[in-house]
Homo-oligomer: A and B are copies of this chain.
Amino acid sequence: MREASRVFLDACRSRPVPWTPVWFMRQAGRSLPEYRALRKEGSILEVVRRPELAAEITLQPVRRYGVDAAILYSDIVVPVAAIGFGVDVVPGVGPVVEERFDSPADLERLRPLEPDEDLPWVAETVRILVGELDVPLIGFAGAPFTVASYLVEGRPSRDYLRTKALMHSDPRTWRALLDRLASIAVASLRSQVAAGAAAVQVFDSWAGALDPDDYRRFVLPATARVLGEIGDTGVPRILFGVGTGELLGAFAEAGADVVGVDWRVPLDLARRRVGPGPALQGNLDPAVCVAGWEPTAAKARAVLADVAGAPGHVFNLGHGVAPETDPAVLERLVELVHEETAGGAQA
């Protein structure tokens, strides 16, 4: 790795950096014409089994945007699919499960993950990427709650009724479910780091559906175990979810080195909730990028103003890049963040 490639990792550790690093959740994918040209039809679960192809898709946004980190092209349901739970990722819908997790007997469908046997193509993709990239590669996993929500609901949900019903009416099964998913996430993350991932992001995308009390009682312990058990790898651990304004302090307690923040909470307010320890990642509304360059530039400057040059900021959107985004806007956004923060404003 070149010296400049340390910028993202240093920002994750709240160290002084020569510019604020930038990457975008879902930077690889449908917003890029080169992705649409390469990808054609079919499930992402097919693509991730082809290391050369998955690596190429991962590299596309790094080449185009000059972002400070790459993120493995994959999906949070890849590990549970690999152990045969029976889940597909339907384009335009999201993860759809053949048979929902519905009773304690379904725990047997979640055996431990053996990365070398169950998904050797993931580590292979990581190894290819580490040889090609001159910026750090972020590995990732779904947090136990968010993966559980897909298994229990059977598909993307707005209200998580089944998930919350299981949590409240059968907490023993719920905890056993999250425990198995935590072990799977740990195994997956350790394998990615062993192959060369330099940081990890744990996606608890839908944890914001919970009130803070339920989050702490029913979810935080499993997430904390995931983060804790990969602590010895020494890589920065990012924890992210949307609508998690009331959970930011709990995310820090769970052991995140970097707390992802969506656009609803200004970063100066997020800092007060998270406390002085972790770095912050975010938080431009991805919808603003769809609206065009002028609003994007104005909003990006507002995000940087909220941080006010303090160390420990990784610039990102507050959620994934929308497929409708013009890549030219993201190109200019990377330039703007680099230029506005150049010279080590955070140093």
Q: Are A322 and B161 in contact (CB under 8 A)?
A: yes
Within 8 A of B (CB), among A262-310: 263-266, 269, 285-288, 290-292, 294-295, 302
A167 at the interface (CB under 8 A from B): yes
Q: Cβ of A167: which chain B residues have Cβ within 8 Å of it?
A: 291
Q: Cβ of A169: which chain B residues have Cβ within 8 Å of it?
A: 291-292, 295
Mark the stretch among A41-49, A68-76, A79-87, A206-214 that contacts chain B: A206-214
Can you sample 12 A-B contacts with CB below 8 Å? A159-B287, A159-B319, A164-B288, A164-B290, A165-B290, A165-B292, A167-B291, A168-B288, A168-B291, A212-B264, A213-B266, A246-B266
Which 9 A/B pairs are nearest by Cβ-Cβ distance?
A168-B295, A168-B291, A164-B287, A165-B291, A211-B263, A245-B245, A169-B291, A161-B290, A161-B287
Interface of A is mostly: helix
In the docked arrangement, what's the CA distance between A264 and B242, Å? Answer: 12
Tell me the A residues contacting B by CB distance below 8 Å: 159-161, 164-165, 167-169, 208, 210-214, 243, 245-246, 263-266, 269, 285-288, 290-292, 294-295, 302, 319, 322, 324
- Of all chain B residues, the one with the shortest Cβ separation from A318 is B211
Contact of A211 among B161, B243, B246, B264 (CB under 8 A): B264
- Of all chain B residues, the one with the shortest Cβ separation from A213 is B302
Q: Are B264 and A208 in contact (CB under 8 A)?
A: yes
Contact of A245 among B165, B246, B290 (CB under 8 A): B246
Distance from A141 Cβ to chain B, minimum over Cβ atoms (Å): 23
Q: Are A287 and B165 in contact (CB under 8 A)?
A: yes
In the docked arrangement, what's the CA distance between A324 and B162, Å? Answer: 10
- Which of A210, A264, A292, A319 is most buried by chain B, counting CB atoms within 10 A of its CB? A264
Q: Cβ of A269: which chain B residues have Cβ within 8 Å of it?
A: 246
Q: Cβ of A246: which chain B residues have Cβ within 8 Å of it?
A: 245, 264-266, 269
Q: Cβ of A245: which chain B residues have Cβ within 8 Å of it?
A: 245-246, 264
Q: Cβ of A265: which chain B residues have Cβ within 8 Å of it?
A: 246
- Which of A159, A167, A208, A265 is most buried by chain B, counting CB atoms within 10 A of its CB? A159
In the docked arrangement, what's the CA distance between A165 and B293, Å? Answer: 11
Not counting A211-B285, A246-B265, a sample of 19 additional A-B residue pairs whose C-beta atoms are within 8 angstroms of each other reads A159-B286, A159-B287, A161-B290, A164-B290, A165-B287, A165-B291, A168-B291, A169-B291, A208-B243, A211-B263, A211-B266, A212-B264, A213-B266, A213-B302, A214-B285, A243-B243, A245-B245, A246-B266, A246-B269
Q: Cβ of A168: which chain B residues have Cβ within 8 Å of it?
A: 288, 291-292, 294-295
Q: Cβ of A208: which chain B residues have Cβ within 8 Å of it?
A: 243, 264
In the docked arrangement, what's the CA distance between A212 and B318, Å? Answer: 14
- Which of A165, A214, A269 is most buried by chain B, counting CB atoms within 10 A of its CB? A165
Q: Cβ of A214: which chain B residues have Cβ within 8 Å of it?
A: 285
- Of all chain B residues, the one with the shortest Cβ separation from A292 is B169
- Of all chain B residues, the one with the shortest Cβ separation from A284 is B211
Distance from A137 Cβ to chain B, minimum over Cβ atoms (Å): 27
In the docked arrangement, what's the CA distance between A164 and B294, Å? Answer: 13
Distance from A221 Cβ to chain B, minimum over Cβ atoms (Å): 18
In the docked arrangement, what's the CA distance between A294 and B324, Å? Answer: 45
Q: Cβ of A292: which chain B residues have Cβ within 8 Å of it?
A: 165, 168-169
Distance from A162 Cβ to chain B, minimum over Cβ atoms (Å): 8
